[in-house]
Amino acid sequence: MSGLSKDDVETYRRQGYFAPVDAFSLTEADQMRRRLEAFEATLPERPIDRMNRRKLHVRLPWIHDLVANPKILDAIENLIGSDILVYTSTVFVKEPGSAAITAWHQDGTCFGLSPSEHVSAWLALSDASELAGCMRFIPGSHKRGLLRHEFASDGNYLNYVGQYLPETFSNDQAQSAPLRAGQFSLHDTAAIHASEPNASCDRRIGLGISYIPAYVAHTGSRRMSATLVRGTDRFGHFDLEPDPRIISVDHAQASHELAYSRYRECWDEQMRQSMLKTQLN
């Protein structure tokens, strides 16, 4: 197993994130990008709709290969142990010249996971430079725990429901985490992060993968599904999603629709609870 060094893990624990980690060559990353763009070309909606941005590892065999790739899983195992589930995955695209941003936020706001132990791997399929709007982090912010968020109906927010932290952060507080195509970053579910518009001449394309240890449970009213990618599931907190590499295309598509609908119901329920807390405060 390769994974992270002891110093890398210590840096992650201290900062709440670590980057970059090498995974794939430029040629391999370009092949993945072409596969994703070929999938986009089959879809009727532009930009790509929410369902076809999320949980694609349940539908597309090559994305299942990505989320289960040992180069990524070795690093994840160093952080959360050897029994690993993928809770969700999301394709993030910023078109060249786009004004879209990701507001300052924490991933764990609407996941409803307990304990809140969750690591996001963000894999760049094209260069995510500072000019292209790479992620920026507030080092050490994960130690503050999950904070109260607010919600905005801003069409330029890549955040799912426009969730953002009302607190402001200066450029001096933030650190950028640029990635070349084929590299990935890692961040804690409570790490405060954001990204700026894409001022480059190319699309900024990434795959965000949410990994949790198998002992983590979901707190919502609906039973959720997840994908086992390493080790064993001795807890049974989630329905295990089928592997699209060994089932029919139609079965994989139906499984994806079901997995996404459950995920969406969970997110909406957690969002409503978070909004209610915000109003009461």
Counting residues of the chain whose pLDDT is more than 90, the rounded percentage is 73
Place of tokens 């300052």: 104
Looking at domain 6-280, does it have CATH number 3.40.1110.10? no
pTM for the whole thing? 0.93
Closest among 12, 27, 127 to 76, alpha carbons compared:
12
Residue 17 has φ and ψ, to the nearest 5°, of -160, 165
Tens-digit pLDDT profile for residues 79-130? 999 999 999 999 999 999 988 888 888 988 878 899 999 999 999 999 999 9
Going by DSSP bridges, is the β-strand pair 183-188/17-22 parallel, antiparallel, or unpaired? Answer: antiparallel
Place of tokens 């990994």: 211
CA 210 → CA 70, 185, 248, distances in Å? 15, 12, 25
Residue 136 has φ and ψ, to the nearest 5°, of -125, 140
Show me where the domains of the chain are located. Answer: 6-280
Q: How many CB atoms lie within 10 A of CB 5?
A: 10
Closest among 15, 11, 271 to 164, alpha carbons compared:
271
Tens-digit pLDDT profile for residues 196-250? 999 999 999 999 999 999 999 999 888 999 999 999 999 999 999 999 999 999 9
